[in-house]
Amino acid sequence: MLLSTNTAHQTNLFGTDLIQQLNLLDPLLQLAAVIPWSAFEQEFAQYYTPDVGRPAKPIRLMVG
């Protein structure tokens, strides 16, 4: 069962957000920003059933 990707950002009440702790000049972080993750989701969606089984891991976790 493929779930839709949650693109909303949840703020942290008691500390700084993870993105604020990361180096924005890191090559992997920059690469993740330009990869078309939705294209991967559309391509792999055909291999998942919408109603059967447990929720799938995010495509970004499997591809990246």
Q: How far apart are alpha carbons 64 and 61 in whole angstroms? A: 5
Instruction: State the pLDDT at residue 34.
Output: 94
pLDDT digits (tens, 9 = 90+) for 1-57: 576 666 666 666 677 788 888 999 999 999 999 999 999 989 988 888 878 888 888
Look up residue 22 and give its amino acid: L
Cβ atoms 39, 3 nearer than 8 A: no
Q: Say how far apart CA 1 and CA 45 lie, in whole Å.
A: 9
Which one-letter DSSP state was computed for residue 15? S
What's this model's pTM, rounded to 2 decimal places? Answer: 0.62
Q: What is the pLDDT of residue 60?
A: 85
pLDDT of residue 62: 84
Q: Give the pLDDT confidence of 12-23 residue by residue, as tens digits.
A: 667 778 888 899
Half-sphere exposure of 26 (CA within 13 A, CB side): 10
